[in-house]
């Protein structure tokens, strides 16, 4: 039997804790809101980790794909189309199409220019959202209804929503892990390690990378659908480059190269971002230096840190 890795064990523990939390006295609304935020952002971070760690594509515009999913919910809501049978296909198609169009151009560039061009596409999405006067513009849009499930209002049930988010997080983790372990994932990694050699053995990286970019963007879009439902509100800020930066931070904080790292990173990030403001209004003066120290002294992120301590 293969030995379980520490980070996987830790992540499974976190997921188990999230599954049991509502049953163990953490069922109050403010807890469930916090958990939903953790799980949805963790799912988005996992899809980003797949992209950055797996395919070597460091996107600084991942929040935009998430925002496209959220805006699909908002725009349909404004036209009173709130059932999942419409919302889901439209959100998936919108996020996939957005990723396909931006990825087709962005993947032509490399390294820093890739970071910058994805940032630029993120900014375009941000300003597009700000210009949607009919759907709230700068101020954002408050949903009339959460997404209905085949006509029922199950999404309004807080416990159902909690387990839906948990299920989605596990789904994201599973599908990204499966993809990375597959032949497709091996080509991605080969292209990341040495594009020239990958090409020499007959795999042009471009279509593989583009597909990875579209898959990650679509998963982020789905996370956006959940996020819109969790907050019942959609705003251009969902697509800001700061949000993309936060997602990258979760990935790196947990440990790049391990999908489970993104989950641990997201948990730590959201907890810090919730707890620190209760200490002081100037909490960012603590958070900023923490970020710097984490980068300087925790190479390999949380997972690298734990691994180094153990061995």
Partner 1 sequence: MSTGLFLVQALNGLQLGILLFLVAAGLTLVFGVMDFINLAHGVQYMLGAYLGAAFAAATGSFWLGLLLALPAALIFGLLLEVLVFRHLYDRDHLSQVLATFGVILFLNQAVKAIWGAAPLQVPVPALLEGGVVLMPGLQYPLYRIAVLGAGVATALGLWFLVERTRLGMLVRAGATNSPMVSALGVDIRRLFMLVFAFGAMLAGFAGVLAGPIFSVEPGMGDHVLILAFVVIVIGGIGSIRGAFIAALIVGLTDTLGKSLMPDLMRLFLDPSAARQTGAALASMLVYIAMAAILAFRPRGLFPARSG
Q: Which stretch binds partner 1 (CB under 8 A): 30-38, 80-88, 107-115, 152-160?
A: 107-115
Cβ distance to partner 1 smaller for residue 89 or 138:
138
73 Cβ neighbours under 8 A, 6+ residues apart: 87, 91, 143, 147, 224, 225, 228, 229, 234
Q: Which of 15, 45, 52, 266 binds partner 1 (CB under 8 A)?
A: 52
Q: How far is the CB of 164 from partner 1 (least distance, A)?
A: 31
Q: Which of 8, 78, 290, 306 binds partner 1 (CB under 8 A)?
A: 290
308 lies in the binding site for partner 1 (CB under 8 A)? no
Measured CA to CA, the distance from residue 219 to residue 172 in angstroms comes to: 7
The token duo for 216 is: 């990650």
196 lies in the binding site for partner 1 (CB under 8 A)? no
Cβ distance to partner 1 smaller for residue 108 or 153:
108
Measured CA to CA, the distance from residue 259 to residue 216 in angstroms comes to: 13
Cβ distance to partner 1 smaller for residue 163 or 283:
283
Q: How far is the CB of 112 from partner 1 (least distance, A)?
A: 6
- Interface residues for partner 1 in 224-283 (CB under 8 A)? 241, 245, 248-249, 252, 256, 282-283
Q: How far is the CB of 124 from partner 1 (least distance, A)?
A: 5
Cβ distance to partner 1 smaller for residue 173 or 249:
249
Cβ distance to partner 1 smaller for residue 111 or 151:
111
Work out the burial of residue 8: count CB atoms within 10 Å of its CB; fewer than 13 is exposed, 13-18 middle, 19 or more buried: middle
51 Cβ neighbours under 8 A, 6+ residues apart: 57, 59, 62, 212, 213, 216
- Interface residues for partner 1 in 119-158 (CB under 8 A)? 119-121, 123-124, 127-128, 130-131, 133-134, 137-138
201 lies in the binding site for partner 1 (CB under 8 A)? no
Measured CA to CA, the distance from residue 113 to residue 115 in angstroms comes to: 5
Cβ distance to partner 1 smaller for residue 248 or 264:
248
Cβ distance to partner 1 smaller for residue 23 or 134:
134
Query: 233 has which bridge partners?
Result: 142
Number of residues interacting with partner 1: please give it, by CB under 8 A: 45
289 lies in the binding site for partner 1 (CB under 8 A)? yes
Which residues bind to partner 1, rule: CB under 8 A?
52, 58, 60, 105, 108-113, 115-117, 119-121, 123-124, 127-128, 130-131, 133-134, 137-138, 241, 245, 248-249, 252, 256, 282-285, 287-292, 294-296
């Amino acid at each position: 039997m293969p030995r379980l890795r520490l980070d996987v064990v830790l992540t499974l523990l976190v997921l188990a804790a999230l599954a049991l939390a509502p049953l163990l006295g953490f069922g109050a609304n403010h807890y469930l809101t916090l958990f939903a935020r953790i799980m949805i952002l963790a799912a988005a971070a996992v899809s980003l980790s797949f992209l950055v760690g797996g395919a070597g594509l460091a996107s600084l515009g991942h929040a935009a794909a998430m925002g496209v999913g959220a805006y699909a919910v908002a725009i349909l809501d404004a036209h009173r189309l709130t059932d999942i049978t419409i919302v889901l296909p439209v959100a998936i198609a919108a996020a996939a199409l957005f990723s396909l169009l931006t990825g087709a151009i962005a993947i032509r560039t490399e390294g820093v220019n890739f970071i910058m061009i994805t940032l630029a596409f993120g900014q375009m999405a941000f300003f597009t959202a700000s210009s949607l006067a009919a759907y709230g513009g700068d101020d954002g849009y408050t949903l009339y209804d959460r997404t209905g499930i085949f006509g029922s209002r199950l999404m309004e049930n807080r416990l159902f929503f909690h387990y839906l988010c948990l299920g989605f997080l596990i789904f994201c983790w599973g599908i990204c892990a499966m993809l990375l372990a597959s032949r497709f994932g091996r080509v991605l990694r080969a292209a990341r390690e040495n594009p020239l050699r990958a090409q020499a053995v007959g795999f042009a990286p471009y279509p593989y990378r583009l597909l990875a970019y579209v898959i990650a963007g679509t998963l982020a879009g789905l996370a956006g659908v959940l996020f819109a439902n969790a907050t019942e509100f959609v705003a251009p800020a969902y697509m800001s480059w700061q949000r993309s930066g936060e997602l990258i931070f979760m990935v790196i904080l947990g440990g790049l190269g391990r999908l489970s790292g993104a989950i641990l990173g997201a948990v730590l990030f959201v907890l810090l971002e919730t707890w620190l403001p209760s200490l002081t209004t100037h909490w960012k003066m603590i958070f900023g230096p923490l970020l710097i120290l984490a980068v300087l002294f925790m190479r390999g992120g949380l997972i690298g840190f734990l691994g180094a301590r153990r061995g």
